[in-house]
Amino acid sequence: MINFRAIKVIYLNEMTRFWNTLFQSIASPVISTALYFVVFGSAIGSSIQSIEGVTYGLFIVPGLTMLSVLTQSVSNASFGIFFPKFTGTIYEILSAPISFYEALIGYVGAAASKSMILATIILFTANFFVDLDIAHPFWMLAFLVLTCVSFSLFGFIIGLWAGNFEKLQVVPLLIITPLVFLGGSFYSVSMLPPFWQTVTLFNPVLYLVSGFRWSFFEVSDVSVSTSLFMILVFLVICLSLVSWMFKTGYKLKE
Amino acid sequence: MSSIVSIKGLSKTYDNGFEALKNINLDINKGEILALLGPNGAGKTTLISTICGIITPTLGSVTVDGNDIIKDFRKTREMIGLVPQELTLGAFDKVWSTVNFSRGLFNRKKDDRYLEKLLKDLSLFDKKDAELRTLSGGMKRRVLIAKALSHEPKILFLDEPTAGVDVELRKDMWKIVRKMKDTGVTIILTTHYIEEAQAIADCVGVINNGELLLIEKTKTLMDRLGNKQLIIELRDSISILPQELDEYKLNLSKSGKLITYTYDSESGGESVVKLLKSIGDYGLVTRDMKIEESSLEDIFVNLVKKND
């Protein structure tokens, strides 16, 4: 029998941190989005031609959203599980009548929800700078939910793996951020020389951004079905990794 | 009395090869207070953590009220409350929200009235809206107890509840533990303090190097092993004891100034009076004297020494 109460209290407890720092939670994405629009959209963007019929200011909206969603999903979820491990309060989760998967739903669900809220705020802010029309709202939402969940899951894995704060920072900083910047968030892959186009195909973020961008403007670097397939592959990899960790009690139980 | 926790052949070997528990067999009776004594690193916390589900055993089994701790973990864990040794609490949570969190985690319906009473019993109610980081060490310890009791457990594990707390708080803690016992809760506590076990426990277990050396009723143990010693300091040193005092089996120190008389605490009172009189009769002048009671501490030290 599933312990729904436990899932609920873990979820709400994680969300409390978000509401407690509501000002930061809202102000920082609003400010950073505005800054990106001023720098890329207006200053630099004015000298860049439209890409496949989409103005540069509009073109960067999905990439910008993905940049924040990916980094925040990873950092929120990793911090969420790392902190109880670090302070020792994890003892309560381990001794409670819940399975690891129930705890996972609570933690990852909360991190993914925060990212969804963040994405909404960013898109809302972007709407002040450009006229945003979403061609395929359903697919936009589907891509967003899948990305939030899979990267929160990835963050959860990092939080379990990390033994100290340095390790916790290293993955978002050295892996996620470069992948997002090099994954066509701010440019179309077709603008790159052929060799780098091929290299970029190995970057999983490319598929997220491309699919997400397609749901807005019907413009994409790779086909939508490939995008969707790649996100699902990433999700399955994360789920398998997590289930292996839970099975072995990796860094959780001795 | 029926047993509520039954441990059979429990062993734990860590990945690094360290054997923390070696073939532990133990039955804990319903409604009792059991004190587990042992030096640092003896395996007390490993034993508790294994029963609570934090550590996976290498060998053996544990049942709680007839349910296996691994197969029926939901049932066993719902019955158990754990107060850890370290003051592990989130810094920014509030007292009220953290006890509610614990209750939910252990699958209990929200019950403000019960939690209010619990906090009042632990003198925490006026701090219910305080952030945990602002509380003193003693208050944090109480919050941990409140969290452990938030889901109305039948068994309470206290891992060194009075380590590093002042005397007053320790006595307070004992009161709380006794009160819990009165409500029918079975209590297992680990401690370094022998006086603590002596003061509140019905049963004492001694653990060293991962082995359970002894488990016995506190009173039986004290009766069985309890001796008293009368130490008499003489004004002038002597080289040999008067032969007439042989029946007391006295021990004379090297300096020739201290005489030690060991006697049974139950029945030896009269012989002390007789001995003192005899000493006077033989012209020995007493300068000072003291009586030492062998405590659980001596019993414990002796057991552990033998085991080492």
Among the candidates B177, B196, B223, a domain finishes at B223
CATH of the domain at B217: 3.40.50.300
* Whether residues B182 and B272 fall in one domain: no
Q: Are residues B182 and B84 in the same domain?
A: yes
Which residues of A fall within a CB distance of 8 Å from B57? Answer: none
Residues in B closer than 8 angstroms to A110, CB to CB, are none
| Same domain as B212, residue B263 | no
What span, in angstroms and rounded, lies between the C-alpha atoms of A140 and B205? 63
Cβ <8 Å between A97 and B77 = yes
- Domain with residue B282: its CATH number is 3.30.70
Of B180, B205, B223, the last residue of a domain is B223
A2 and chain B in contact, CB less than 8 A: no
The Cα diameter of chain A in Å comes to 60
Same domain, B86 and B72: yes
Spatial separation of the C-alpha atoms in residues A158 and A74, rounded to whole Å: 8
B-chain CB neighbours of A6 within 8 Å are 104-107
* C-beta of residue B278 within 8 angstroms of C-beta of residue B244: yes
- Do B104 and A8 make contact, defined as CB atoms within 8 angstroms? yes
Structure tokens at B31: 């409604």
Domain tally for chain B?
Answer: 2
Q: CB contact, 8 Å: B82 with chain A?
A: yes
For each of chain B's 308 residues, which pLDDT tens digit applies?
Answer: 689 999 999 999 998 999 999 999 999 999 999 999 888 888 999 999 999 999 999 999 999 999 999 999 999 999 999 999 988 888 788 999 999 999 999 999 999 999 999 999 888 999 999 999 999 888 999 999 999 999 999 999 999 888 777 788 888 888 888 988 999 999 999 987 777 888 899 999 989 889 998 898 988 877 766 677 889 999 988 888 888 888 888 889 988 899 998 887 666 778 888 888 888 888 888 899 898 876 666 777 777 777 77
Residue B252 — left, alpha, or beta (φ > 0 → left; ψ -120 to 50 → alpha)? beta
Interface touch B107/A87, C-beta < 8 Å:
no
Print burial letters for A71-109: b (CB count within 10 Å at least 16), e (below 16): bbbbbbbbbbbbbbbbeebbbbbbbbbbebebbbbbbbb
**Amino acid in the structure at residue A184:** G
Q: Residue B249 is which amino acid?
A: K
Per-state percent for chain B, helix, strand, coil, to nearest 5: 40, 30, 30
> Rounded to the nearest 5 degrees, what angle is found at the Cα of B282, between the Cα atoms of B278 and B284?
95
A:B CB pairs within 8 Å: 74
Which residues of A fall within a CB distance of 8 Å from B148?
none
Asked if B18 has any chain A CB less than 8 Å from its own CB, the reply is no
Which of B253, B151, B164, B188 is closest to B45 using CA atoms? B188
> A122: distance to nearest CA of chain B, Å?
28
Q: Using an 8 Å CB-CB cutoff, list chain B residues near A97.
A: 73-75, 77-78, 106-107
Same domain, B176 and B123: yes
* Domain segments of chain A as ranges: 4-45+52-248
B70 touches chain A (CB under 8 A): no
Question: For chain B, first and last CA: distance in Å?
Answer: 33
Same domain, B244 and B208: no
Determine the angle formed by the axes of helices A56-87 and A137-161, rounding to 10 degrees.
30
Q: Which of A23-32, A241-250, B2-11 has the lowest mean pLDDT?
A: A23-32
Structural contact between residues A93 and B105, judged by C-beta atoms closer than 8 angstroms: yes
Is B82–A91 a contact, with Cβ atoms under 8 angstroms apart? Answer: yes
Same domain, B191 and B63: yes
- B201: domain range? 3-223
- Site from A91, A99, A246 to mutate, B interface, most B CB atoms within 10 angstroms: A91
CA distance B266 to B18: 43
CB contact under 8 A, A88 and B100: no
Per-residue burial over B249-266, b if 16 or more Cβ lie within 10 Å, else e, is ebebeeeeebbebbbeee
Picking from A6, A83, A92, the nearest residue to B107 by CB comes out as A6
